[in-house]
Amino acid sequence: MRLRSRTLMIALAGVVIAGLSTGCSDAPGVAYANGATRPAASGAASSRSASPTAKPSPTAPAVPPLRVTGTPAGIKAKEGILVDAATGQVLWAKDPNGRRPMASITKVMTAYLVISAGDIDRKIKVPKGVLNYVAKYGASSDDLEPYETLTAWQLLYGLLLQSGADAAYTLATAYGPGMSAFIAKMNATARSLGMDNTHFASPDGLPYPTEYSTYSTPADLVILGEAAMKSPTFRKIVGTKQYHMAKGNGHDAHWWYSDDSLLGSYRGAVGIKTGYTDDAGHCLLFEAVRNGRPLLGVVLGDPPSGIDASEQDAARILNWGFSLKQPAS
């Protein structure tokens, strides 16, 4: 999404990372850089936290933590985090609990809810209000038209690859049903996942009613990333560079391209989602896998003037992360 809005900074620090529960399957706890682990959540939700001296969760994988040495250099993002998704160990973090707008990374939650609801072959008619919605906010678009009917599966490609706010509007309206009901589900799901420093006011990250009405933190967004990437459907979509939908019964032809430049250019990159507004800066939720080790992270608030600034930061962070070794036994 490409928007122009006022610049404002909100930061909140000092809270340790909260627990995690996906609602669909178990997920690894998150450990601190010194090897301590955030406790695994139990039940539908968890807001428990761990101190840096907490013992590793008994449910965490029996894989030795990496030996963390140094920090990634040249990082311009205001905030960020990198997690070893195989063990939950936090390898690096910069203001991980600072609240900031995350722009179109918001659409990861929208996709997560749609996929969790099931029936992604469901046919959905693009609502009449979609054109005014996109025009009002100057939002990124998949060029959907109100007379078109697409499946939820097709709309998810438009949502996650080309970051169409029209796809987000269409899915939210259908799955709420209605925008207000869908946003309420987004916030309820955030609470159930343990994303206690996150709030959604839109299904797409557009800056309304204010630039900071939708916000999250690096620590919360890796929770969301871990949960979403457990879905084979989500994982397949965000790992796709381009999607072509031929003209068919009820819809026009569409070409949608991923705006994540790490795909195809960074070895092992498998997604996840970019975002940009003037207030959010360049943002990226990302994952890469090498030698069976998945590293998942996020950067928020990269300089708006930079070209692919968030992808450059992500590559630096991943290079550093993949250079870490397990301690000698």
Which of 49, 70, 96 is the C-terminal boundary of a domain? Answer: 96
| 284/294 Cα distance (integer angstroms) | 16
- Residue closest to 207 by CA, chosen among 270, 278, 158, 283: 278
The residue out of 96, 116, 138 marking a domain boundary is 96
Interval 8-19: pLDDT, tens: 222 222 322 333
Average pLDDT over residues 72-76: 96
Verify that 193 and 270 share a domain, yes or no. yes
Same domain? For 39 and 50 the reply is yes
Same domain, 77 and 128: no
Domain match, 139 and 205 both: yes
Name the average pLDDT for the chain: 83
How far is it, in rounded angstroms, from Cα 14 to Cα 97? 7
Whether residue 164 is found in the same domain as residue 209? yes
Q: Is 261 a catalytic residue?
A: no
Catalytic residue among 140, 163, 216, 258: 163
| 200 and 111 in a common domain | yes
pLDDT, position 41: 29
Let me know whether 178 and 254 are in one domain. yes
Residue 291 maps to a domain: no
Those residues whose C-beta lies under 8 Å from the C-beta of residue 39, and which sit 6 or more positions away, are 19, 29, 46, 48, 50, 54, 57
Is 188 a domain residue? yes
The whole-number pLDDT of residue 28 equals 31
Pick the catalytic residue: 107, 141, 202, 258? 107
In a domain, 117, yes or no: yes
Last residue of some domain: 96, 122, 151?
Answer: 96
| pTM score of the predicted model | 0.82
* 245 inside domain: yes
Shared domain check, 198 and 74: no
* Residue 274, in any domain of the structure: yes
Residues 166 and 277 in one domain: yes
Beta carbons of 193 and 23 less than 8 angstroms apart: yes
Q: So what's the pLDDT on residue 3?
A: 34
Residue 2 located in a structural domain: no
- Maximum C-alpha span of the chain: 63
Q: Assign 69 a pLDDT band (cuts: 50, 70, 90).
A: very high
Q: What is the pLDDT of residues 246-278, one digit of tens each?
A: 999 899 999 999 999 999 999 999 999 999 998
Residues 210, 79, single domain; the answer is no
Which one is catalytic: 104, 216, 231, 261? 104
Assign residue 194 a region: left if phi > 0, alpha if psi is -120 to 50, beta otherwise? Answer: left
Least confident of 158-162, 195-199, 237-241, 324-328: 324-328
Any idea what the Cα angle at residue 276 is, between residues 183 and 153, rounded to 5°? 55
Contacts of 59 (CB under 8 A, 6+ apart): 26, 28, 29, 40
163 is catalytic: yes
Amino acid 79: pLDDT? 98
Is the pLDDT assigned to residue 166 strictly greater than 60? Answer: yes
Question: Could you tell me if residue 6 is inside a domain?
Answer: no
The answer to whether residue 107 is catalytic is yes
- Same domain flag for 169 and 205: yes
What's the CATH code of the domain at 112? 3.40.710.10
Among 130, 156, 141, 140, which residue's Cα sits nearest to residue 243?
A: 156
Residue 112 lies in a domain: yes
Which of 152, 151, 126, 122 has its CA nearest to residue 141?
126
The span from the CA of 158 to the CA of 161, in Å, is: 6
Q: Which domain holds residue 234?
A: 98-215+230-286
Distance CA 154, CA 2 (A): 22
Count: domains in the chain: 2
37 and 129 share a domain?
Answer: no
